[in-house]
Structure 1
Amino acid sequence: MDWAHVRFRQVPAMISAPSAPHTSRLAGLWASLSCLALLAGCGGGEGEDPLEEFYTISGNPGGSGIFGAYFMQSITQEWRDAAASFRDNNPRYKVQDGTFAIGGRTVFANPLHSSRMDYAHALGLTGTGAVIAVVDNGFLRTHETFAGKTVTHTGDTAVDDGSQVPSHGTTVASIAAGESSTMVGVAPGADLVFSSWDVLDLAAAADEARRRGAVAQNNSWGFVDRPITQASHESIFGIPAYAAWLAALKLYAADGVVVFAISNEEDAATAGLMEALPLLEPDLETAWIAAGNAVPVFDDDGVSAVALRLSAGCLEAARWCLMADGSWYAAMAGSNSAYGSATGSSFAAPQVSGALALLAEAFPHLAPHQLRARLLASADNTFTGFTAAGSIDLLEGDETFLHAYSTEFGHGFLDIRAALLPIGTLTMTMADGGAVAVTELGFATGGAMGDAVVRGLAGVDLAAEDALGGGFDVAAKSFATEAAVEPLAETVAARALGKDFARARTAPISPLARSFEAFPGRTLELTGPDGGSAVALMLGGGESYGIALSRRVAEGTLNLDLGLKLSRDDGSLMGFADATGGGAAMAALTVSLSHDLGSGSFFALSGEMGLADLTTPRALSGVTTASFDSLSLDVGTRNVLARGDRLAVGVSLPMAVTAGQAEMVVPVALGQGRSEMRSLAFDLAPSERQVDLSVSYQASMGENSELLVELVHAQNYGNRAGITDNAAVLGMRWSF
């Protein structure tokens, strides 16, 4: 099928005018497609949308400014569900549902779905603030889909009832930016410029698009029998009116993006002059997109194959070409509320133009040429049948971001969802001016800090950019990962299994019993010959190890032990860790006050205070020395239910940071694409520290067996405010 062509004003006989359109093919294009079972229905719902049935989400909850509203780091389930709510419940989406019967199979079609516009609309993007210029004919400016928009026009754009395509411009514009209770276009919040494709009006159309700052100028038309050759170029642009248009178009293209529909001749061997014009006018390439019409086989993850290609292939325009499903139920010019079905590359092109408007709203600091690069770079080319003919450097020369294209499908299918996600490496500019990959800035915090770092960075968004200059807000707290906290039951069980049950039941209380309780690994305790000296060795493996020494300085009814503990942590308990390593060197003074004659009541009060030299991860500019402490009290008695048994209750404050600060010097997002380098300082001490309450009972069950029962309740578990956990352990140990 030929794509929608123009009827030109009569020109002087000495000028060779482009040939006329093929009317029979054109009429076939515009006819209702109900015979192909392409679209399921011919009308939309009445009244307002049932908003309770579909909903939008915030891409970055708590984010500030426009980036905070639209940034999505990945395809989350929440985003999928919101997009599905539009597809499944919004009647303006469902009116586009249809099927193709191909080779005995049925292929589902919906251009809003296959191009992932549902994901953009689910984020609240509408193209607000953007302008789309449409060069066409047959505009019914009073159609309800254009109500409330700012619409300017140049040339004679009125509907011509004698035209072969009286509704063409109305349909194209409604797909790009229309909205009513019946249908919704790609960018319903965008404003419009209507311009005639008449030869004497084209220069004015380009000038008006430039004056309005249009992000895209859509052209769903072309020249019949004018392939991309130098001869065609000379025959068209040798005409003064067209030469003036080319000059005006170049001025517009210096900032805006020109979108041209490619031919609907499926078996065309050569691209048309206009869709492939950058081949002869290389300066236009960074401003040009050619749009073809194809129906993809797809699901929510992506395009898997091509059901039908209904237009020509991209051919010589492949380097700047995209495919989209040009099968639509859209506005017609029969009345202000008329709609109908149509297909063609004419209706694929305005999807691309509308997508540029959506990106202009999401990335207001990017120029239209940069938005064009995002669309090409994010096009889905992973489907069966895509054969790469080459790749193009979309960063214009630095050879760091190449995207493959094919002569048939160009860069692939339009995928607005992918265009909204980070493309390539997401980087952040640091205080020294260097750009660092965001993935290299993540770090983990030790359990002794609890929620301190995440809490300290809450509510702050940092500015990052992807490989194509797209700006994204990243929550500062997302760089910090709290130490993984095992369930309390696992911790208590591991601690219990590491004990000698009989010795723990009968031996006097050791002043070093809790020295390395919070560390991973095993502890070996040794007592000096005089009983007044003790040493504990912690062998954690890897980067965790330590030694604790104690000396009894007072003995009697109350025993007083003083000691020194030196240790190294890998970062899981104290300090930070990132891809390059981490941890902390720690030193502490210990004190223990106890009473235990080994046969009756006992108690032990022990604690420590120390300092930690923390490793500074790459994301942080500086870290002070941190202070920490721990405290525990155990009270109990023996011979309660049976001779030699042991009952104890305890309360403890496991190790936690009590003071310390860290600093990040980072670009803080201010909204609307603005950022400012700031110093973020935050405390390392948790807001609430963990408190453990415990009850334990031990007894001998015979000559070679021991019983242990322990119950523990932890408040603010992992030094995280409001988190509780409980554990119960029943242990039996036999010796042979």
Structure 2
Amino acid sequence: MFNTSEYRRSDGPADHNAIAAWQQGATGAGVAIAIIDTGIDSDSPEFAGRILPASRDVAGSRGIDQEDDHGTNVALVAAAARNNTGVMGIAYEANLLVLRADFPGTCADVSDDGGTNCSLRDSDIAVGIQYATDNGAKIINLSLGGGNPSQAVRTAVQRAVAAGVVVIVSSGNDGLGSPDNFAAGISDVGSGGVMIVGSVDEGGNISSFSNRAGTYISSFLTARGERICCVYENGVLKTETDNTGTYVYLFSGTSFAAPQVAGAAALLFQAFPNLSGQDVVELLLDTARDAGATGDDDVYGQGILDIAAAFAPQGTLSLADTRVAMALTDSTLVGAPAMGDALAGASMPVTLLDKYERAYSSDLGARALGAQVAPKLEGALRDDLRHVGLGSDALSLSFAIDGTALRSPWGGRLSLSAEDAEQARVLAARVAARIAPDTQMGVAFRQGAQGLVAQLQGQSRPAFLIASGGQDDTGFALGDTMSFALRRDLGDLGLTLSAESGTVLAGARGRFAADFARSRAEGNAIRFGASLDGDYGPLTATLGASWQREDRTVLGARFHEALGVGGADSLFVDADLRFEAGDGWRLGGAFRQGWTFAQGTRLASNGWALDLEKRGVLGRDDGIAFRLSQPMRVADGGIDLTLPVYWDYATRSATVATRSLALAPTGREITGELAWRSPFLGGNASASLFYRTDPGHYADLRDDPGVAIRWSREF
């Protein structure tokens, strides 16, 4: 779109990354750049319709048309039109307030080298600065140089800066180590509103003729000022043809580096009307591309003009309505396993503000992460665990121990080094005790309450490697879990109360600037439950309900703090039926239905499992079972987020809208597993054949089939 022959002829837009601003709609339209110089070619099509009527000759009564081309060339660099001919300027739609200030007759004086000896008086420059300030100029370009500025000029500059005008002055063409006295004197009274500009060539090297930053590092910037295309004659590019070809005329000088910066300032003022003059100066200086010695230096000052960097967000971003910080690198949401692929293609447009209160559009959906799909077989076949169980009807204990330390011989007292103690750590433990004839109690470490409840109720279920059991799934995992259960016999019924707490483990590792550790722990959750169970001949039935509270997550999903989603409550209802059909056959089914409430929005979720088991297939103690199951899955609903969608610079306020984010996945994981278990050769043998569709509730993932054969012997 912008990469035209006109653009490629222009020296400056490409060097300073102007396209990044143009693509955001910044062209300088409506912003006035005051060019205090030697006049302009007012008939040039490059300025048609954009020379303001207030333009005038501040040094006489001649009008604004030039006697030499210096002022025209300065204006071309800043604001030549985008009209598919000649060249184009940085701010190609900016308005020009042309203030001719050359002393009458001096530009007509031709020097020995063919140039002119234009002279500008401080008194006329001061009038021009004051006039520009009074007539709405946002930028004043002074491609001038010389001795110390008069007090009148200094006063005019101070007044302009106080009015929010950016003053840009060229550093001078003496090849010295510091700006000339004119530029230095203006910077001294600039109060953060003045930039001194030196020249670099097309490679970003300081021009030999350019004065350097010297001691004015903090206000010094460089821009392309060497070999600039092109001189115009009668409104078109001036060319010369000889026997070797046709050539255009180029010009060089810090005078032409300054308007590059003036054009950039105009783009910023148009795009971000809330910016003050000091803001614009600070932005352009702070975002300059480093050159020369690393960091600021006395040659390039702050560096080379970089418009793309100046347009990029600065500092920590925040939501436009609440001003709560949200870095562009942050994850906006980390989904939970029960949500599967719901976040794929999610769109949540939002408006963010940077430290200058500049508005930027961002799609929060693009930074939402779905839960990772775990390879279930790998975890199921982990071989470095040891399980220990012992006890009686009155007391039972069971442990899961990291067995890596047990591979080395041991003989003697239990005296472990710090390293061995870590290797031999207990990963999980459960203790159950009958504390009265009709009452049992259990506690567990790193194990959920559901296993305790099943033990106290005397449930016996087939063991599967992969397929979940329906009512032992809440849609996400807890870590560092502590659980408790208490069961009381009530005649033919049993009442079991349970509780557990732990840290919510995220479905994926998100990035949140507020969490320096960036661990998978995403807050805490507590659960309380109650269930009734009873035997009715061959039928065993269990009915239960539980309540869950998450302090930071929603069914395991972590939302960025800026979105204001601070936890959720869930209610689960469970049903479990087991039927002894005789001759070793048993049928079973479990179902869990959940409702989650957060931010005034409800999610419905469910999980289920159907079992068929035959005991004594090949021998008295073996068994084969088939399970068909669906892990916990959000079936319906989403969450409503109130987000800023527009920023009004005039009122400095945001317009908000409600965005609904569906959290039900399109995929549905269904797992079928055929499992066989039997004692064998002094140990336990098992074989499992499984097939999993839409793993993790992701519709676009390949089905996951597998087979596992295992023999193990406990110590």
- TM score, norm. by length of structure 1: 0.64
Contact kept in structure 2, 1:132 and 1:192, CA below 8 Å: yes
Paired with 2:206 and 2:583, the residues of 1 have a C-alpha distance of: 85
Paired with 1:732 and 1:371, the residues of 2 have a C-alpha distance of: 69
Structure 2: which amino acid aligns with 1:692? E
Deviates more, 1:551-560 or 1:360-369: 551-560
After superposition, the Cα gap between the structure-2 partners of 1:675 and 1:252, relative to the gap in structure 1 and judged at 3 Å, is closer
Match of 1:196 in 2: 100
Structure with larger Rg: 2
1:518 aligns with one of 464, 470, 475: 475
Query: Could you say what secondary structure the match of 1:209 adopts?
Result: helix
Match of 2:606 in 1: 630
Match of 1:186 in 2: 90
Match of 2:457 in 1: none
Q: Give the deviation of 1:133 after TM superposition.
A: 1.8
Match of 1:24 in 2: none
Paired with 1:491 and 1:707, the residues of 2 have a C-alpha distance of: 15
Paired with 1:324 and 1:412, the residues of 2 have a C-alpha distance of: 9
Paired with 2:288 and 2:568, the residues of 1 have a C-alpha distance of: 47
1:407-458 superposed Cα distances (whole Å, 9 cap, x missing partner): 4333222121221112223345766xxx543349976455278499979995
Match of 1:727 in 2: 704
After superposition, the Cα gap between the structure-2 partners of 1:129 and 1:328, relative to the gap in structure 1 and judged at 3 Å, is farther
Paired with 2:670 and 2:468, the residues of 1 have a C-alpha distance of: 20
Paired with 2:321 and 2:141, the residues of 1 have a C-alpha distance of: 40
Paired with 1:195 and 1:334, the residues of 2 have a C-alpha distance of: 21
Contact kept in structure 1, 2:15 and 2:224, CA below 8 Å: yes
Structure 2: which amino acid aligns with 1:157? I
After superposition, the Cα gap between the structure-2 partners of 1:600 and 1:326, relative to the gap in structure 1 and judged at 3 Å, is farther
1:374 aligns with one of 280, 283, 300: 283
2:204 paired with 1:324? no
Contact kept in structure 1, 2:40 and 2:64, CA below 8 Å: yes
2:533 aligns with one of 524, 549, 552: 552
Structure 2: which amino acid aligns with 1:571? T
Q: Give the deviation of 1:481 after TM superposition.
A: 6.0
C-alpha root-mean-square deviation of aligned residues, in Å? Answer: 4.8
Query: Could you say what secondary structure the match of 1:183 adopts?
Result: coil
Structure 2: which amino acid aligns with 1:158? D
Contact kept in structure 2, 1:352 and 1:414, CA below 8 Å: yes
Q: Give the deviation of 1:291 after TM superposition.
A: 0.8
2:351 paired with 1:462? yes
Structure 1: which amino acid aligns with 2:136? G
Higher helix share: 1
After superposition, the Cα gap between the structure-2 partners of 1:272 and 1:667, relative to the gap in structure 1 and judged at 3 Å, is same
2:175 paired with 1:214? no
Query: Could you say what secondary structure the match of 1:173 adopts?
Result: helix
Q: Give the deviation of 1:131 after TM superposition.
A: 2.0
Paired with 1:456 and 1:340, the residues of 2 have a C-alpha distance of: 53
Paired with 1:150 and 1:269, the residues of 2 have a C-alpha distance of: 34
After superposition, the Cα gap between the structure-2 partners of 1:694 and 1:546, relative to the gap in structure 1 and judged at 3 Å, is same
Deviates more, 1:119-128 or 1:491-500: 491-500
Paired with 1:320 and 1:372, the residues of 2 have a C-alpha distance of: 8
2:693 paired with 1:713? yes
Match of 1:69 in 2: none
After superposition, the Cα gap between the structure-2 partners of 1:446 and 1:610, relative to the gap in structure 1 and judged at 3 Å, is same
1:169 aligns with one of 59, 71, 75: 71
Query: Could you say what secondary structure the match of 1:347 adopts?
Result: helix
After superposition, the Cα gap between the structure-2 partners of 1:663 and 1:656, relative to the gap in structure 1 and judged at 3 Å, is same
2:325 paired with 1:437? yes
After superposition, the Cα gap between the structure-2 partners of 1:151 and 1:598, relative to the gap in structure 1 and judged at 3 Å, is farther
1:486 aligns with one of 364, 367, 372: 372
Paired with 1:568 and 1:324, the residues of 2 have a C-alpha distance of: 59
After superposition, the Cα gap between the structure-2 partners of 1:211 and 1:506, relative to the gap in structure 1 and judged at 3 Å, is closer
2:270 paired with 1:289? no
Contact kept in structure 2, 1:220 and 1:347, CA below 8 Å: yes
Contact kept in structure 1, 2:33 and 2:96, CA below 8 Å: yes
1:693-731 superposed Cα distances (whole Å, 9 cap, x missing partner): 23222346993542222212239936xxx7655322322
Paired with 1:195 and 1:682, the residues of 2 have a C-alpha distance of: 52
2:9 paired with 1:134? no
After superposition, the Cα gap between the structure-2 partners of 1:607 and 1:278, relative to the gap in structure 1 and judged at 3 Å, is same
1:94-125 superposed Cα distances (whole Å, 9 cap, x missing partner): 435xxxxxxxxxxxxx6433422233234443
Contact kept in structure 2, 1:626 and 1:659, CA below 8 Å: yes
Gaps of 5+ in 2: 58-62, 103-120, 238-247, 387-459, 504-520
Match of 2:423 in 1: none
1:696 aligns with one of 662, 668, 673: 673
Paired with 2:236 and 2:501, the residues of 1 have a C-alpha distance of: 79
2:553 paired with 1:571? yes
Query: Could you say what secondary structure the match of 1:273 adopts?
Result: helix
- Percent identity between the aligned chains? 19
Deviates more, 1:700-709 or 1:124-133: 700-709
Query: Could you say what secondary structure the match of 1:409 adopts?
Result: coil
Q: Give the deviation of 1:358 after TM superposition.
A: 1.0
Paired with 1:193 and 1:641, the residues of 2 have a C-alpha distance of: 97
2:561 paired with 1:652? no
Q: Give the deviation of 1:519 after TM superposition.
A: 3.3
2:226 paired with 1:340? no
Structure 2: which amino acid aligns with 1:196? R
Match of 1:30 in 2: none
Contact kept in structure 1, 2:471 and 2:574, CA below 8 Å: no
After superposition, the Cα gap between the structure-2 partners of 1:671 and 1:528, relative to the gap in structure 1 and judged at 3 Å, is closer
After superposition, the Cα gap between the structure-2 partners of 1:456 and 1:135, relative to the gap in structure 1 and judged at 3 Å, is same
1:294-323 superposed Cα distances (whole Å, 9 cap, x missing partner): 34866xxxxxxx565541112354432211
Contact kept in structure 2, 1:651 and 1:691, CA below 8 Å: no
Match of 1:472 in 2: 359
Deviates more, 1:115-124 or 1:518-527: 518-527
After superposition, the Cα gap between the structure-2 partners of 1:208 and 1:331, relative to the gap in structure 1 and judged at 3 Å, is farther
Paired with 2:97 and 2:32, the residues of 1 have a C-alpha distance of: 7
Deviates more, 1:363-372 or 1:549-558: 549-558
- TM score, norm. by length of structure 2: 0.66
2:77 paired with 1:154? no
Q: Give the deviation of 1:648 after TM superposition.
A: 3.8
After superposition, the Cα gap between the structure-2 partners of 1:547 and 1:249, relative to the gap in structure 1 and judged at 3 Å, is closer
Alignment of 1:28-427 (within 5 A): 51=1, 86=3, 90-95=4-9, 111-137=12-38, 139-147=40-48, 149-152=50-53, 153-155=55-57, 156-160=63-67, 166-179=68-81, 180-198=84-102, 199=121, 202=125, 205-206=128-129, 209-210=132-133, 212-223=135-146, 226=147, 228=148, 233=149, 236-237=150-151, 243=152, 251-253=159-161, 254-267=163-176, 271-279=180-188, 282=189, 284-295=190-201, 306=205, 308=207, 310-315=209-214, 317-338=216-237, 339-381=248-290, 383-385=291-293, 388=296, 406-427=297-318
Query: Could you say what secondary structure the match of 1:186 adopts?
Result: coil
Structure 1: which amino acid aligns with 2:133? R
Q: How many residues align?
A: 568
Paired with 1:277 and 1:659, the residues of 2 have a C-alpha distance of: 64
Contact kept in structure 2, 1:220 and 1:260, CA below 8 Å: yes
Paired with 2:28 and 2:348, the residues of 1 have a C-alpha distance of: 27
Paired with 1:601 and 1:133, the residues of 2 have a C-alpha distance of: 94
Structure 2: which amino acid aligns with 1:553? G
Paired with 1:195 and 1:561, the residues of 2 have a C-alpha distance of: 91
After superposition, the Cα gap between the structure-2 partners of 1:727 and 1:356, relative to the gap in structure 1 and judged at 3 Å, is same
Query: Could you say what secondary structure the match of 1:516 adopts?
Result: coil
Paired with 1:116 and 1:335, the residues of 2 have a C-alpha distance of: 30
2:473 paired with 1:588? no
